[in-house]
Every structure is written in C-alpha cells, then in structure tokens.
C-alpha cells in the first residue's frame, strides 16, 4: 500500500495489529462440539438445537443462493451490499436472496476456544408479510433490535422482528411496511435514495438522503409516507456559481455522543465538501440528562460572558431552543433535580431556519490553508463518509472513488446556528400540535474566519463560524483493478476500540488504527505522540476470482471480555470468521523505562514522607554528656545539684521533646491513617466480591475442565489405536533405497507405458500391412498392386524390412526390461521379508 501522511514519519513504527484467521472445522468435529454444548438462555432449550461454528453453519452455502447470485450479480455490482446485521448482544441476522427470508442465529462467543463463535442450528426463519418487489442490497438494525431496515435500489421497507408464528412451517411472519413509497417507489419519479440510516437516539426514526438534495426524517410510529422533517440543501450562496458536481450530496452521518454533535447531521458532497446541520432532533427522541444539562450550562456560561451582540443572539436562541425542546430541563436545573433521561418535544423557530454550516475549511497545526473550501489532491470524487467520536475528538473520514481515505478532525466544537428571517413551513394537526416542518437550508452569507488550531476558542465562541478541520492523514489503499466509476469502499466502526476503523473494498478488508488524535493525546499543549495511522490488511481477495472478490456482508463483533471478531460474507455466500487482536494495540512505539523507574522511586519516597516525617524516622538526637570531675561530688551540695539539673535539662531537650513530637505526629496523622485503612478495607471487600464471583463461576470452569479431560482421553485412545496399526513399526527406507525406489517408480510408470504403447502401435501397423498380402487379394487388386509395385519399385520392401528390424529390436528391449523388472520385484520382496 502507498501512504501519503500529512504528519511527520516516526523513527520507529512497530505494528501490533495481528489478524488470526479461523479455519473451518470439519463436519465431524463440529457435530461432536455441538453435542457437548448446552443451549444458552437466549435460545429455546430444545433437543433439536445444535451449536455449530459460525463459518460451518448450513445457512451459508453456495448451493442455496448460487442461482440468485448469477442473476443479480451484474445489476448490483456497483452498489454497496451488506446482507448481515448484529443487534449488539447475541443475535446475528442474515438475509437469504434466494428465499427472500431472514435468518436469525443466536451466538455464543469464546466457546470452546476463545477464537470460536458458535451459532444455533437450525436458524430461526423470519418472513415478511408482504411480497417484496425489489432485491435487498443492505440490511441494518435499530439500536434496540426491534426493527430491521431492508434497502434496495428500487425499494425501501422496514421489517418488525417480533411477529406471529406461521401455521405452514416453523417460520415467523413479521409485519413489513414500505417507507416513502409515494416518493421513492414511484416509477414516474427519478428520485433515488443515496443513504438511509437509523437515528442513534430513536428506534422509530429514519434519516434518508435522496438524489433531489433533500434530507428527510421519517417517524415510523406516526406516518410512513409523510416525512416528519425536511431539509432542502442549498450549498451555493446567492449570487455565486459553482461546479454542478459540488451541489450533489452523496452521503451523510449522524453525530456522536459529544456536546452539540449529538444534535448534528454531517453531509458530504461529491466534491469533498462537508457541511453541518445543527440542531436536528427527531420528535420524541431520548437523550441523557447529564449530556443535555452540560450543553445547557455551557450556553448560559459562555454566551452571557461574551461581549459580542452576535454571540449573545446565538446564545439566546440556543437556550430558548433547549428549553422549548426539553421543557423539564429548566425546571429540573433550577430545582437541582436529577432524572435519567429527557424526551424531546416537537419544536421549531417560526422565524428562523437551520443553515448549512460550511464548507468546513482545513487547517494544519496553526497554519491556515485557505478560508474557502480547497479541493484536495485525491483522485475521483467523494463517495462515502463516516463520523466517529473518540473521547474528546470528532473524527471525519472521507472516501474518494480513487481509493484514498482522507482523515480529518474537528478542531473546534460544533455550535447551533439559525438564519433569522428565513421562515420554515410548519405542519400542525387539528389540535394545533406540530407534526412536521420543512425548511430551506442555505449557506451563511458572512465571510468565514479561519481560526488557528492552537489559538484559544473562547473569543470565537457563539459567533456562528463553522469549526475548521484539522487534517490528520491521507491514506492511499492502492486498490487494483479500478473501474471507470471508481472503487466501492465501505467504512465500519470497531465496537471495542474507538480508534480502529475497518475499510471494506474490492481488494478485501483493511484495519486502520489512529494513533494520533489532537485533543485526546495532547498534554500541556505539546503533542507527545504524532504517529501516523497503522494500516493492516486483514483479508485479501485480490488473488481470488473476480466474481468472488467482492464481499456481500461484513460485521464487527465483540463480547464483554474484550475479545473482537470480524465476520465476512463472500459473494459465493461463504462465511469467514477472523479474530482480531485488541490488547496492547494502542501502546506507543517507544517506552522510556529509566524515566518510569525514577518516577516510581520518587513516588515511594514521597508517600513514606507524607505519613511519617524524616525527623521521627531519624530518632532522638545523640545526648552529649559533659565530662565529669574526677573528684566525687555530694548530691546535696551545690555542685551536685547543678550537675543533676544539667542532666535533667539534656534529657528533657532530647527525649521528652521527641516524645511530644511523636505523640503530636501520630495524633495528627491518625485520620489519614484511618482513611488509608478504610481504603484497604474497601479494596478487601471488592476483592472478596470478586472471589465470590469466581467461586460462582468455578462450577462452570470445572465442567469445562472435565470436558477437556474427556476429550484429552479420547485423543489418547486414538493415538494408541494408531500406534497399533500394522506397518507402523517398520523401519523407514534409507536415502539410497528411497532414490532407487523413485527410479523404479518412474521407470515403471513412464518408460514401460511408453514401450507398451509403441509396441501396440507397431503391432497394429503390422496387422494392417499383413491384411494386404498377395494371397488374400482379388485378381484386380493384385493387378493394381503389381502396377503400383512397378512404379514404386522396391520402396515398400525396404520399409517392411526396416519395420521388421525395428520390431525385433523393440522385442529384445522389452524382454530385457521385463527381466529387469522381475529382478527388481524379487529384490524388493526379499528386502521386505527380511525387514
């Protein structure tokens, strides 16, 4: 692969990402494993349910869907396909193109080996209650796993996964509805869907970006034909003209769980420009109380302190929008109450519309590139887009048709902006309640100011400037066999490691790990680690046949123990399971061990000093006794009393004062020692709880150990049986004997066959010539032969004589070879009998 990084190359770059491919298990082993496993609580505990390795499941087979694959491969070769979905817990869904049905498989991770994924067999079959008149290309599931989106080139419908059982077979009939059929399924209308996605904070809202440059939100709980919200995207400002390709949207992505990003929609256009719609909130969506309260407090704090009238206006509109969308917010914030979540209410400003913030310009560590949008050096056009929130960073990944990935990060926070004077169209019901609205989203007329990346953003907050993009890297995948329309590339997020992204393309699957993030890895304003992204090829399909090189499904799975897998479905409908390494993936390439040890020693010294001072550890001072006179002194005399008083004074200064210091020190550190003891007791209780959990799991571990011991015993019995097989104790042939045997086999297999075929051919020719002998010819034939003999002379006689001589030589060679073969066979028999 070729890389073009905008960050400086490090001196050393160790690659810690390793992929482990799980080979399919033979049917005999899979059956024995399935018999030893017991069904999980998520599946019905029936006797006919087996647990098989996922890659060996009978639902994935070329015979079931080969006919449909041949019919539809040409028509869908340029569309992104994903026929698998995962509910995030323990259920995998697979759409069968041949039967037009959905298969539900319950999964179990890490049994019997940590690299295994087991699935129930047979799978549960779910069928739609209506006939689908289009080919399903992509399936996606909502966050709670209650509904599945079936997306195709000529249709769009939602299938609810909890239905009624069928009386004909064991399948489940699920209610299925078409979404926007009057708009997207109309044959007279050329509108097609570009991107369809579930909203991350609602189970009933779908976001659809169509080719008419309109972003629509549908509420499946109220109306499936009429959109709840419509945003007409107009990226060109009034009085200005741009290229026609720059006004065509291609993809969008909802924001993540980070400040105002959760109320934002990021839209990508074909020229690579990225725009933001904020705020966009579905009616009835649910958000966390802490997250909404955080942005509400920020709006009140930073907006009121700003001296700009424009910032105050934007802050006032934001606060009014928050209080109207979440009516409980202001009351609960004033009273100090806490509730788990807030539900949004229908609301829109009557005299203002949401503009398109952008295009987002790029900066590079304080150096501005251009205040306007600048076309990058990537080949082709922008085709796909991904938003990813990693801690404090908002990462944007743009995919180009030439096979390049452009990775950027938002250098500032997203803020809501309204265009006052641009009135939206609002729809209400008979009770004057808002049921939907539509607005034209234009770009702002004011000039964009470029803010330095290292400059403080407190002075620029709430001024309406779109956040700049910090360019991190450009990755060239160097894909082989690019078509005229470009490569089809899809991006997926790792469920376990936020810094990892999976890239699925015609050449296979790549893993991209981001080591440098501007805000997460920044300490005291200095970037400590600026390593480029690590790109690792997980699956390579470049050497596979072109009809089987593309993938029809991809999933990234993870369990609660920190293990991660990826599951791929090839165009031949074969399942591949790959275990991904997750531990020590983001460690730095260089570790300063000496500095680490010094800091540990310093911490140990300071910790001891905080508990007991150095003076107390050193002990009392040494008492210097004055020299005594050689003459004895009476105790009641003046000299004796002065000597005794001096001794008492020295004792008091050295020992009594030291005892007072010890007493005061212990009394002063008593609460601190009590706190340390309480912490130790808390850790002890936590350890006891963990031990209790381990004891609860001990029985399961013992069962697994018993099964492992039983399997080990069976393997030992098989080894014993193999050792008792005949011929196992024979001595191996020496090197000379093996070479001699190879020569005999080559002579027997090649030269003898060639001799036999030559002899048979010559015998046939002799018979053919002998059939033309003078004794068997008719008179007219003999006459013709005589005339021909006169013309040719004695040519035939010479040929016959040469043939006879050749036959005699070959017969001699054949006889000699036969004798040699007999001798060799007898020698081999004698050697085998002696051995």
**Residue 431 pLDDT > 80, yes or no?**
yes
Q: Quick one: CA dihedral 119, 124, 129, 134, positive or negative? A: positive
**781 located within any domain:** yes
What's the mean pLDDT in 231-251? 73
**pLDDT for 116:** 83
**771 located within any domain:** yes
φ, ψ at 352 (rounded to 5°): -150, 145
What's the mean pLDDT in 226-237? 88
Give residues with Cβ within 8 angstroms of 394, minimum separation 6.
Answer: 255, 256, 258, 261, 387, 388, 409, 410, 414
- Rounded to the nearest angstrom, the gap between the alpha carbon of residue 151 and the centroid of all alpha carbons in its chain is 22
**708 located within any domain:** no
CA distances in angstroms from 314 to 71, 164, 318, listed in the order given: 56, 51, 6
**770 located within any domain:** yes
Last residue of some domain: 637, 669, 701? 669
Pairing of strands 425-428, 193-198: unpaired
The neighbouring-strand residues paired with 232 are: 214, 440
Summarize pLDDT for 588-635 with one digit per residue, the tens. Answer: 555 444 444 444 344 444 444 456 666 666 666 666 666 665 667 676
Residue 517 confidence class, pLDDT cut points 50, 70, 90:
confident
**Residue 450 pLDDT > 50, yes or no?**
no
Residue numbers of the domain that contains 621: 613-628+650-669
Q: What share of the chain is helix, strand, coil (3-state, %, to 5)?
A: 35, 25, 40
Interatomic CA distance for residues 794 and 802, integer angstroms: 13
**796 located within any domain:** yes
CA distances in angstroms from 272 to 389, 405, 593, listed in the order given: 20, 11, 44
**pLDDT for 459:** 53
Burial pattern 677-713, b for ≥16 Cβ within 10 A else e, equals eeeeeeeeeeeeeeeeeeeeeeeeeeeeeeeeeeeee
φ, ψ at 115 (rounded to 5°): -95, 10
Q: Determine contact, residues 514/531, Cβ cutoff 8 Å.
A: no
Map residue 560 onto helix, strand or coil.
coil
**812 located within any domain:** yes
Nearest-CA neighbor of 518 among 3, 4, 7, 5?
A: 7
Q: Where are the alpha helices (DSSP H) in 288-386?
A: 289-305, 309-325, 327-335
**Residue 247 pLDDT > 60, yes or no?**
yes
Q: What is the pTM of this model?
A: 0.65
**710 located within any domain:** no
Q: Tokens at residue 698, please?
A: 């001990």
Burial pattern 223-249, b for ≥16 Cβ within 10 A else e, equals ebebbbbbbebebeeeeeeeeeebbbb
Interatomic CA distance for residues 561 and 697, integer angstroms: 14
**pLDDT for 727:** 65
Give residues with Cβ within 8 angstroms of 466, minimum separation 6.
Answer: 276, 357, 358, 360, 448
Interatomic CA distance for residues 722 and 716, integer angstroms: 10
Q: Determine contact, residues 185/151, Cβ cutoff 8 Å.
A: no
Nearest-CA neighbor of 603 among 593, 591, 615, 595?
A: 595
Nearest-CA neighbor of 501 among 384, 591, 410, 392?
A: 384
Burial-class residue 158 by CB neighbours within 10 Å (0-12, 13-18, 19+).
buried
Interatomic CA distance for residues 500 and 748, integer angstroms: 60
Nearest-CA neighbor of 448 among 368, 375, 352?
A: 368
What counts of helices (H) and strands (E) characterise the chain?
Answer: 15, 42
**pLDDT for 63:** 46
**Residue 1 pLDDT > 50, yes or no?**
no
Q: Quick one: CA dihedral 266, 267, 273, 276, positive or negative? A: negative
Q: Determine contact, residues 509/550, Cβ cutoff 8 Å.
A: no
Summarize pLDDT for 459-513 with one digit per residue, the tens. Answer: 567 777 888 999 888 998 887 765 555 678 899 999 888 899 999 988 889 999 9
Residues counted in the chain:
835
Q: Tokens at residue 78, please?
A: 């340029």
Q: Tokens at residue 357, please?
A: 């913030």
Higher per-residue confidence, 718 vs 485: 718
**828 located within any domain:** yes
Map residue 283 onto helix, strand or coil.
coil
Summarize pLDDT for 132-173 with one digit per residue, the tens. Answer: 888 899 999 998 889 999 998 888 999 999 877 766 677 889
- Side-chain half-sphere exposure of 494, counting CA atoms within 13 A: 24
Among 280-289, 425-434, 669-678, 746-755, name the one with the lowest average pLDDT.
746-755
Read off the DSSP letter of residue 624: -
Summarize pLDDT for 403-414 with one digit per residue, the tens. Answer: 889 999 998 888
Sheet holding 205-210, edge to edge: 193-198, 205-210, 214-219, 229-234, 434-442, 425-428
Residue 449 confidence class, pLDDT cut points 50, 70, 90:
very low
Nearest-CA neighbor of 758 among 825, 795, 718, 809?
A: 809
What's the mean pLDDT in 251-264? 92
Interatomic CA distance for residues 499 and 481, integer angstroms: 29
Summarize pLDDT for 7-51 with one digit per residue, the tens. Answer: 333 333 333 333 333 333 333 333 333 333 333 333 444 446 788
Interatomic CA distance for residues 221 and 435, integer angstroms: 12
Q: Tokens at residue 17, please?
A: 């990402």
**Residue 294 pLDDT > 60, yes or no?**
yes
Among 347-361, 510-524, 616-630, name the one with the lowest average pLDDT.
616-630
Read off the DSSP letter of residue 56: G
Cis previous bond, 279, omega within 30? yes
Interatomic CA distance for residues 95 and 150, integer angstroms: 9
CA distances in angstroms from 630 to 311, 643, 646, 647, 650, listed in the order given: 94, 14, 18, 17, 21
Tokens 């709880």 found at: 689
Interatomic CA distance for residues 668 and 593, integer angstroms: 37
Residue 363 confidence class, pLDDT cut points 50, 70, 90:
confident
φ, ψ at 502 (rounded to 5°): -100, 130
Secondary structure (H, E, C), 645-695? HHHHHHHHHHHHHHHHHHHHHHHHCHHHHHHHHHHHHHHHHHHHHHHHHHH
Q: Determine contact, residues 53/107, Cβ cutoff 8 Å.
A: no
Domain count, the chain: 2
Read off the DSSP letter of residue 1: -
Interatomic CA distance for residues 165 and 129, integer angstroms: 11
Phi-psi category of residue 793: left, alpha or beta, with phi > 0 → left and psi -120 to 50 → alpha: left
CA distances in angstroms from 389 to 219, 408, 499, 710, 835, listed in the order given: 26, 12, 9, 48, 73
Give residues with Cβ within 8 angstroms of 495, minimum separation 6.
Answer: 88, 556, 557, 558, 564
**pLDDT for 549:** 59
């Amino acid at each position: 692969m070729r890389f073009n990084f905008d960050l400086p190359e490090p001196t050393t770059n160790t690659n810690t990402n390793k992929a482990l491919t799980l080979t399919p298990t033979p049917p005999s082993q899979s059956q024995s494993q399935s018999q030893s496993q017991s069904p999980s609580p998520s599946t019905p505990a029936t006797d006919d349910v087996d647990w098989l390795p996922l890659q060996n499941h009978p639902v994935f087979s070329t015979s079931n869907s080969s006919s449909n694959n041949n019919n539809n491969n040409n028509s869908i070769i340029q569309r992104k396909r994903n026929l698998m979905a995962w509910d995030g817990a323990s259920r995998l869904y697979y759409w069968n193109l041949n039967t037009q049905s959905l298969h539900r498989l319950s999964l179990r991770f890490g049994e019997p080996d940590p690299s295994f994924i087991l699935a129930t067999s047979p799978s549960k079959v779910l069928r739609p209650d209506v006939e689908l008149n289009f080919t399903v290309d992509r399936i996606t599931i909502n966050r709670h796993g209650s509904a599945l989106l079936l997306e195709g080139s000529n249709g769009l419908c939602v299938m609810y996964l909890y239905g009624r059982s069928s009386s004909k077979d064991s399948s489940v009939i699920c209610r299925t509805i078409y979404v926007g059929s009057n708009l997207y399924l109309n044959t007279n209308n050329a509108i097609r869907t570009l991107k369809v996605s579930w909203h991350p904070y609602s189970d009933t809202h779908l976001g659809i970006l169509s080719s008419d440059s309109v972003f629509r939100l549908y509420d499946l709980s109220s109306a499936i034909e009429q959109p709840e919200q419509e945003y007409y995207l107009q990226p060109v400002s009034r009085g200005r003209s741009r290229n026609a390709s720059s006004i065509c949207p291609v993809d969008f992505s909802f924001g993540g769980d980070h400040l105002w990003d959760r109320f934002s929609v990021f839209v990508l256009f074909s020229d690579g420009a990225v725009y933001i719609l904020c705020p966009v909130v579905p009616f009835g969506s649910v958000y966390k109380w802490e997250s909404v309260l955080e942005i509400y407090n920020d709006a009140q704090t930073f907006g009121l302190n700003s001296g700009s009238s424009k910032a105050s206006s934007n802050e006032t509109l934001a606060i009014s929008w928050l209080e109207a969308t979440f009516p409980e917010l202001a009351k609960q914030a004033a009273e100090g109450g806490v509730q788990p979540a807030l539900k949004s209410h229908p609301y829109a400003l009557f005299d203002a519309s949401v503009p398109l913030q952008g295009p987002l310009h790029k900066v590079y560590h304080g150096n501005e590139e251009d205040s306007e949008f600048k076309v990058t050096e990537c080949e082709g056009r922008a085709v796909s887009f991904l938003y990813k929130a990693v801690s404090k960073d908002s990462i944007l990944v743009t995919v180009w048709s030439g096979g390049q990935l452009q990775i950027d990060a938002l250098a500032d926070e997203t803020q809501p902006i309204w265009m006052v004077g641009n009135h939206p169209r609002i729809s209400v019901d008979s009770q004057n309640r808002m049921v939907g609205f539509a607005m034209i989203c234009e770009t702002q007329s004011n000039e964009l100011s470029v803010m330095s990346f290292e400059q403080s953003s407190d002075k620029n907050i709430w001024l309406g400037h779109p956040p700049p993009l910090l360019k991190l890297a450009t990755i060239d995948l160097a894909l082989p066999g690019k078509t005229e329309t470009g490569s089809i590339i899809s991006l997926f997020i790792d469920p376990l490691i936020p810094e990892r992204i999976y890239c699925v393309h015609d050449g296979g699957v790549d893993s991209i790990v981001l080591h440098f993030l501007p805000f997460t890895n920044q300490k005291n304003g200095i970037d400590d680690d600026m390593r480029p992204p690590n790109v690792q090829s997980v699956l390579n399909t470049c050497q596979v046949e072109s009809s089987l090189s593309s993938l029809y499904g991809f999933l990234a799975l993870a369990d609660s123990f920190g293990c991660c897998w990826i599951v791929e479905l090839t165009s031949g409908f074969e399942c591949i399971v790959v275990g991904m390494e997750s531990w020590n993936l983001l460690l730095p390439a260089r570790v300063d061990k000496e500095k680490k040890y010094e800091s540990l020693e310093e911490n140990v010294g300071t910790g001891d000093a905080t508990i007991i001072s150095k003076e107390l550890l050193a002990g009392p001072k040494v008492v210097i006794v004055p020299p005594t006179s050689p003459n004895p002194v009476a105790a009641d005399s003046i000299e004796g009393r002065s000597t005794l008083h001096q001794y008492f004074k020295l004792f008091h200064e050295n020992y009594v004062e030291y005892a007072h210091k010890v007493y005061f020190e212990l009394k002063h550190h008593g609460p601190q020692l009590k706190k340390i003891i309480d912490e130790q007791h808390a850790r002890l209780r936590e350890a006891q709880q963990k031990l209790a959990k381990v004891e609860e799991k001990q029985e399961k571990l013992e069962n697994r150990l018993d099964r492992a011991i039983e399997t080990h015993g069976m393997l030992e019995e098989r080894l014993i049986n193999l050792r008792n097989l005949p011929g196992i104790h024979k001595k191996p042939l020496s090197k000379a004997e093996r070479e001699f045997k190879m020569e005999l086999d080559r002579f027997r297999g090649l030269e003898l066959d060639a001799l036999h075929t030559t002899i048979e051919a010559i015998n046939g020719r002799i018979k053919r010539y002998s059939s033309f002998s003078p004794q068997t010819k008719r008179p007219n034939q003999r006459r013709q032969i005589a005339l021909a003999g006169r013309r040719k002379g004695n040519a035939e006689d010479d040929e016959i004589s040469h043939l006879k001589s050749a036959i005699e030589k070959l017969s001699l060679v054949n006889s000699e070879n036969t004798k040699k073969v007999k001798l060799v066979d007898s020698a081999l028999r004698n050697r085998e009998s002696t051995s």
